[in-house]
A and B are shown apart, each in its own frame.
Chain A
Amino acid sequence: MNGLLGKKLPGRAVPMIGCVSVFLSFWIAVAGFFTLLGIEEPKERLVIQSLYQWLLISWDQGRFSLELAFRMDPLSAVMCLVVSGVGFLIHLYSVGYMAGDDSQPRYFAYLNLFTFSMLLLVLADNLLVMFVGWEGVGLCSYLLIGFWFTDLDKARAGMKAFIVNRVGDFGFFVGLMLLFWTLFETSGGAVTGLSFGQLQEAMPRLITARPIWNIEVATWVALLLFVGATGKSAQIPLYVWLPDAMAGPTPVSAFIHAATMVTAGVYMIARLNFLFLSAPAALAVVAIVGGVTAFGAATLAVVQNDIKRVLAYSTISQLGFMFMAVGVAAFSAGIFHLVTHSFFKALLFLGAGSVIHAVHHNDLRHMGGLRRYMPWTFLTFMAGYLAISGVPPLSGFMSKDEILWAVFTSHLPVPGLGKALWALGLITASLTAFYMTRLVILAFAGTYRGTPEEAHHLHESPPVMTGPLMALAVLAVIGGAMGLPAPTHLPHALESFLKPVLGDHGGSDPVVHAYGMEVLLMGLSSAVAVAGICGGWLCYVKHTEIPARAASRFAGIYRMLSRLFFVDELYQFLFISPLVKLAKIAGHFDLNGIDAGVNLTSWLTTKLAVLVGWEDLQVVDGVVNGLAGVVQKCGDQLRRLHTGKIQHYLYSVAFGLFGLYIILLLL
C-alpha cells in the first residue's frame, strides 16, 4: 500500500500503515507462541500449514512435490517474535528518524517488504521457500542501503552489498542443488520433497552417498550452504559489504544489519542442524571461521572513527560468536545469543541514530559530552553497552558466556581446537568491552568537540524515538532471564523450549557437567570484560595520550587495521578488475565484431537491392515494353486492312462468299 499509494496519502498515514502492519504481525507471532506453549507435549509442538502446491512432478518411482508451506515450531516462533517485535520497535523509531524525508512511502514500503521476506525465511517449511525469503532479504537490503541513491557513494554501497550477497547466494544454491541431486540419486529417484521434515528423514541416505573428490557429500552441501551464510551474515570472506552498508538510514542498520538479516545465516544452520551434524568437518570450518571473524572484526572496530562503523564491526564480531556456537553444535546457545544480540545491538544502533540525528554527522572525533544534552539516549545506550560488553547479569553476559562454555567443552575433530577457540573468544570479548568503552567515552563523556553552532542544536530525540530505545534497554537488561546458566540450577527456558527442534546439543549438558569449571569460566569472562572496560577508561579518560602513542609505536599494525587489512583492495585486485576488463573486452568485441558484421550485412543488402532494381528495370520492364511493342506492330500491320475503300470491303465480302462455297463443296 505504501509503495503504490504512498505519495498520495497524507503525511501521517504512511508511517502509520507501516507500523500497524508490523504490529499486527507481532501480535500474531505472540499468539502463535502461546499456542505452541499450550500444546503440552513438547514433541508435538509443530504446526505445518501448506498454502498451495507450487510444483508437482510425478513419475514411475515416485513423485516430487514442492509446496508453499509454512512451519511453526519453537525455533520459528522465537525467530518470529524477534523479527516482528524488534521490527515493530524499529518501525516506530523510523517514524521519528525519517520525519521530513520526502521518500517516506518508499522507505516504509521497503521496510515492510523486508519484514515480510524475513518472516517468509523463518517460517518456511522447505528449503526453496526459505531460499525465496533469503533472496528477498538480500534484495531489500540493497534497496534500503542505497535508499538515498542520489548520493553515488551510497548507491555504490548498496550495489556492493547486493553483489557480495549474491556470491554467497550462489554457493547456497549450488549446495541446494547438490543436496537435491544426491537425494535423487541415492533414493533411486524417489525424492519426495525438500521440506525440513523430509530432509531430516533423508539424512541417512545422504550420509551413505558416494563421496565427491574424497569429501563426503554431506560435507560439501554443508560447506556450500555455509558459503551462503557467510555472505548473508558477513563472515570471512564475504563480510566486506557490512561496514559500507552503514550508508543506509540508521534504523535500517539496526534492523537488517543487527537483528534480522545477518542472523539468517545462523538461523539456517540451526534449522538444518541435522545436516550439519552429519558433516563434522563442515562444523569445524564453521567454528573456525566464526572465531577468526570475531577476533579480526573486533580488532578493526578499535580504530574506527565513524560511530556506525564501530557498531558494524561489532556486529560482525558478535556474529562470529554465533557461528562459533553453532560450529560446536551448541545450536540453542547460538540462537540465544542471536536473540540477545538483536536486543542490545538494535538498541545501540538506534541510540547511535539518535546521536546522529542530533549532531548531523557520524564522526566520533567531533562528538563528546552528549550525556548532558541527551540523557535518555545516554541511559539506554549504557544499558546496551554493558550488555554487549558481557557484564553480568545482563543478557549479553548470559548468552556470550554460554557460548564460551560450549566452545571450551566441545569435541572438535582437531584436538585442542576447542580450547584455542575459547581463548580467541575470550580475547575478543575483552576487545569488545574495550572498543565499546572507547565509543561511549568519545561520544558521551567529556566536552563537546564540535562547532559551537552545532552545540546549539543539540537536543534529545522525540519520544517516538526514545520510546523504542527504552523498551529495548529493558529487554537488553532482563533478556538473560530466558537462558540462565546451569550452575544456578534455574531452568534454562530457551534451551528447553527449543529442544524438540535443536536436539540435545544445547549449550549445557546436565549430566557430564563440571559446575566448578563452568563457574570458573564465568568468572574469567566477567573479569576480561571488566578489564576491557578499565582499559578503555584508562586510554580515553585518564591518559588520553596513550592511543596516539600506541598508534605511532605500532605504526605498521595501526596502518593495517585502519586500512582494514587491505581486504577491499585485495578483492578489487583479484576479482573486480579482471571482471571489468573482461566486460570491456566483450564490449569491444560487440562493437567492432558484431556491429561490423551487422553493418556488413546491411551494406551487402543495399548492393543487392541495387542489383535487383537494375534487373527489374531492364528485364521486367523489357518484357513489358516488348509485349507492348509486339501488340503495336501487329496493330500496325492489321491497320493496312482499313483501306477506307468500299470496294475493298465488298471484295472481301465476295471472297468470303467464295470461300463458303468452297467449304460447302468440300464438305
Chain B
Amino acid sequence: MKTIIFNVFVLMAIIPSLWVALSSNIVHAAFSLLFTLFGIAGLFVLLGADFVGVVQVIIYIGGIMVLIIFGVMMTQGARLSPLSVNLPGRLLAAGLTGIILAVLMVAATHFLWPVGSAPPPPTPASQAIGNLLLGKYLIPFEVASLLLLAALVGAVLIVRHSVRSDLSPSVFIIRRKQRGE
C-alpha cells in the first residue's frame, strides 16, 4: 500500500517537472510546476514530515507559485519567444545533466548510507520542530526572519525606482509620494 502511494507521488512529482523543463509554453510550465510541488508535498508527508508538507503546500504553492504566475502574467512573456534555447544548447545541457544524473544515481544506490533503524518521526511533528526552532536552531531562525525582511524591502526598492509605466496604481501612488507631494 505504502509503495503504491509512494509511486503515485513520485510520478506526480516527476512527470510535471519534465513538462516544466521541456514545455515551450511558459504558462504550461508554471502550472506543471504547481503539480510537481504537490507531489513533493505528498512525499514529505510520506516521510513523516507532515508539518513540512503542509507548509510546502501553503507557502510554496500558495505563495511562491502564485508569485511566479503573477510574474508570468505581468511580463507577458508567453506572447514573446516561447522557445527554449536552441538545439545545440539543449544537447549540451542534456549531456551535462545526464552525467550529473548518472553520478547522483550511482551515489544514491551504491553508497552505503548510514541508515539506522530509526523510529518514524512523531506526528504531528510540529511540537518537535517548534522545540528545535526555538532551541537549538534559534539563530538560524532569527537570521531567516531577517532574510525575509531584507528580501521584502529589497524587492520593493527594486521595483519602486524602475517602474515607469503604470503597471499598477499602487506603484504609481508610491512614485507620486516620492516626489514629495
Contacts and interface: CB of A to CB of B under 8 A. Distances in A.
Interface in A649-667: 651, 654-655, 657-658, 661, 665
Contact of A657 (B85, B89, B100): B100
A654 B85 contact: no
Interface in B17-57: none
A658 B99 contact: yes
A647 B89 contact: yes
A324 B35 CA distance: 151
B89 A658 contact: no
Nearest to B100: A658
Contacts of A654: 93, 96-97, 100
- Which of the four size classes fits the interface of chain A? under 10
B100 A661 contact: yes
A210 to B, nearest CB: 113
A651 B93 CA distance: 8
16 contacts: A647-B85, A647-B89, A651-B92, A651-B93, A654-B93, A654-B96, A654-B97, A654-B100, A655-B96, A657-B100, A658-B96, A658-B99, A658-B100, A661-B100, A661-B103, A665-B103
Nearest to B89: A647
B152 to A, nearest CB: 24
The 5 closest A-B pairs by CB, nearest first: A661-B103, A654-B96, A658-B100, A658-B96, A647-B85
A647 B96 CA distance: 14
Interface in A515-555: none
Contacts of B85: 647
Contacts of A665: 103
Contacts of B92: 651
B120 to A, nearest CB: 31
Interface in A614-667: 647, 651, 654-655, 657-658, 661, 665
B147 to A, nearest CB: 21
Interface residues of B, number: 9
B102 to A, nearest CB: 10
A628 B168 CA distance: 52
Tell me whether chain B's interface is mostly helix, strand or loop, or mixed.
Answer: helix
A662 to B, nearest CB: 9
Nearest to A661: B103
A52 to B, nearest CB: 93
A658 B97 CA distance: 9
Interface in B99-118: 99-100, 103
A654 B101 CA distance: 12
A353 B103 CA distance: 135
Interface string B159-171: 0000000000000
A647 B103 CA distance: 23
Contacts of A655: 96
A665 B100 CA distance: 12
Nearest to B97: A654
A654 B99 CA distance: 11
Contacts of B103: 661, 665
A658 B93 CA distance: 12
A37 to B, nearest CB: 121
Contacts of B97: 654
B21 to A, nearest CB: 14
A654 B89 CA distance: 13
A665 B106 CA distance: 11
Nearest to B103: A661
A157 B106 CA distance: 125
Contacts of B93: 651, 654
B81 to A, nearest CB: 14
A632 B59 CA distance: 51
A544 B112 CA distance: 160
A661 B105 CA distance: 13
A657 B97 CA distance: 11
A343 B96 CA distance: 135
Nearest to B85: A647
B91 to A, nearest CB: 13
Contacts of B100: 654, 657-658, 661
A651 B95 CA distance: 12
B17 to A, nearest CB: 17
Nearest to B99: A658
A657 B85 CA distance: 21
Interface in A212-247: none
B66 to A, nearest CB: 24
A654 B94 CA distance: 12
B77 to A, nearest CB: 15
Interface string B63-92: 000000000000000000000010001001
A647 B86 CA distance: 12
Contacts of A651: 92-93
Contacts of A658: 96, 99-100
A657 B100 CA distance: 9
A488 B96 CA distance: 153
A436 to B, nearest CB: 128
Nearest to A657: B100
B170 to A, nearest CB: 29
Given A647-B85, A654-B93, A657-B100, 13 more contacts: A647-B89, A651-B92, A651-B93, A654-B96, A654-B97, A654-B100, A655-B96, A658-B96, A658-B99, A658-B100, A661-B100, A661-B103, A665-B103
A113 B94 CA distance: 118
A665 B110 CA distance: 13
A655 B85 CA distance: 18
B179 to A, nearest CB: 33
Contacts of B96: 654-655, 658
Nearest to A654: B96
Contacts of A647: 85, 89
A651 B91 CA distance: 13
Contacts of A657: 100
A666 to B, nearest CB: 12
A648 to B, nearest CB: 10
Nearest to A662: B103
Nearest to B106: A665
A659 to B, nearest CB: 11
A654 B97 CA distance: 9
A658 B92 CA distance: 13
Nearest to B104: A661
A654 B93 CA distance: 9
A618 B114 CA distance: 70
B13 to A, nearest CB: 22
A224 to B, nearest CB: 111
A654 B92 CA distance: 11
Interface string A10-29: 00000000000000000000
A651 B88 CA distance: 13
A661 B96 CA distance: 12
A657 B96 CA distance: 10
B85 to A, nearest CB: 7
A217 to B, nearest CB: 113
